[in-house]
Amino acid sequence: MYGKPTPTVTVNGRSYRAPERPVVVVCVDGSEPGYIEKAAEAGMAPWFQRVLAQGTNRIADCVVPSFTNPNNLSIVTGAPPAVHGICGNYFFDRDSHTEVMMNDPKFLRVGTILAALQGVGAKVAVVTAKDKLRKLLGKGMIGICFSAEKANETTVAEHGIDNALAYVGRPLPSVYSADLSEFVFAAGVKLLKERRPEIMYLSTTDYVQHKAAPGSPDANSFYRMMDGYLAQLDAEGATIVLTADHGMNDKHKADGTPNVIYLQDVLDGWIGAGKARVILPITDPYVVHHGALGSFATVYLPDGMDETPIIRQIGSLPGIELALNYAVAQAPLSKAV
């Protein structure tokens, strides 16, 4: 596509122009503001240090629920969860009365910018850390789209590449490691050098950020690794757009005890055991670093129950920032406040 007229696509009400040189979009999972800055201040991230001084650096709000799937899909669709439909990692299907993982592309209601640009001739590649995102990000795409988690299982038919593990030339990483994200970056550098995708989307895992605070040795080491790969992508002439999908906050008190509200137990005490159903949309198979400890819950009350006093009671619990009913929660921000 380079050297040709640059077509424009419209996706979910917004227009996007095909790139005139490689564009690499990196979603650094869980990269709370401070991680990059502290690594740069410690002299461990010279590329980041230069970009912070010379590039564009902004703090942005993520979409709510503030989890991996909703925010990654908001990045690639340019739309909020109310439009694209991915409202968590896990949800309660009210039609079937079952709890369901939200990793099937059938739940994605709209098209992606990646698929649209590929449709007008752009060469697109996607590499994710966790496989739960792969099919969602790759919906409507034909071509390279694989995860580091299952790089040993790739085929041309499904992932656009045979045996990505051998192609990248690194051991299969543990899903609970910094190596999982490093595999994503190593794959991105190799793909850019050898296959020159015009648009590449790289998405990491937040295993390190769940375990290590900004400025800690483990966090700085992780960002030093990332810094080296980003410098290589930069040297290849790519325009790099780096963002996070969400931030982080402590889930424990100063003494190390969990800072957790067991909302199901609370509701059982208020209205009777099992009458309400509490769903934690962060729920997914990666229990070591997630452990269902998100900062967002959905509550389903029995049909006909007056929700107003329950919402008021939930909102009064210490540690609860906001409690809303369904109608207000899904409304545009200007109507919800």
Residue 168 confidence (pLDDT) above 80: yes
Structure tokens at 148: 């580091």
Tally of domains in the chain: 2
Q: Provide the β-strand partners of residue 25.
A: 201, 241
71, 296 Cβ separation under 8 angstroms: no
Is residue 322 located within the same domain as residue 174? Answer: no
Average pLDDT on 61-83 reads 93
Is residue 204 located within the same domain as residue 267? Answer: no
pLDDT of residue 16: 96
247, 61 Cβ separation under 8 angstroms: no
Q: Which domain holds residue 133?
A: 21-244
pLDDT of residue 293: 67
3 state DSSP class of 203: strand
Whole-Å CA distances, 178 to 62, 70, 130, 210, 212: 23, 22, 12, 11, 11
Is residue 109 located within the same domain as residue 230? Answer: yes
What CATH number is associated with residue 311? Answer: 3.30.1360.110
29 in any annotated domain: yes
pLDDT of residue 91: 86
Report pLDDT digits (tens) over 109-149.
999 999 999 999 999 999 999 998 999 999 999 989 999 99
Q: Quick one: which H or E segment has residue 75?
A: helix 68-77
231 in any annotated domain: yes
CA angle 133, 136, 139 (to 5 degrees): 140
3 state DSSP class of 100: strand
Query: How far, in Å, CA of 331 to CA of 120, rounded?
Result: 34
Is residue 60 located within the same domain as residue 160? Answer: yes
State the SS3 of 19-34: CCCCEEEEEECCCCCC
16 in any annotated domain: no
Is residue 61 located within the same domain as residue 167? Answer: yes
42 in any annotated domain: yes
Q: Which DSSP string do the residues of 212-265 spell out, in sequence order?
A: --TTSHHHHHHHHHHHHHHHHHHHTT-EEEEEES------B-TTS-B----HHH
pTM of the model: 0.91
Is residue 173 located within the same domain as residue 111? Answer: yes
Lowest mean pLDDT among 22-36, 229-243, 249-263: 249-263
Report pLDDT digits (tens) over 170-187.
999 999 999 999 999 999
Report pLDDT digits (tens) over 43-65.
999 999 999 999 999 998 999 88
Is residue 159 located within the same domain as residue 276? Answer: no
146 in any annotated domain: yes
Is residue 309 located within the same domain as residue 182? Answer: no
Is residue 222 located within the same domain as residue 330? Answer: no
What CATH number is associated with residue 183? Answer: 3.40.720.10
Report pLDDT digits (tens) over 212-228.
999 999 999 999 999 99
Is residue 308 located within the same domain as residue 207? Answer: no
Is residue 48 located within the same domain as residue 75? Answer: yes
Is residue 163 located within the same domain as residue 228? Answer: yes
Point out the domain boundary residue: 212, 244, 276: 244
Q: Provide the β-strand partners of residue 101.
A: 90
Query: How far, in Å, CA of 129 to CA of 68, rounded?
Result: 11
Point out the domain boundary residue: 217, 244, 271: 244
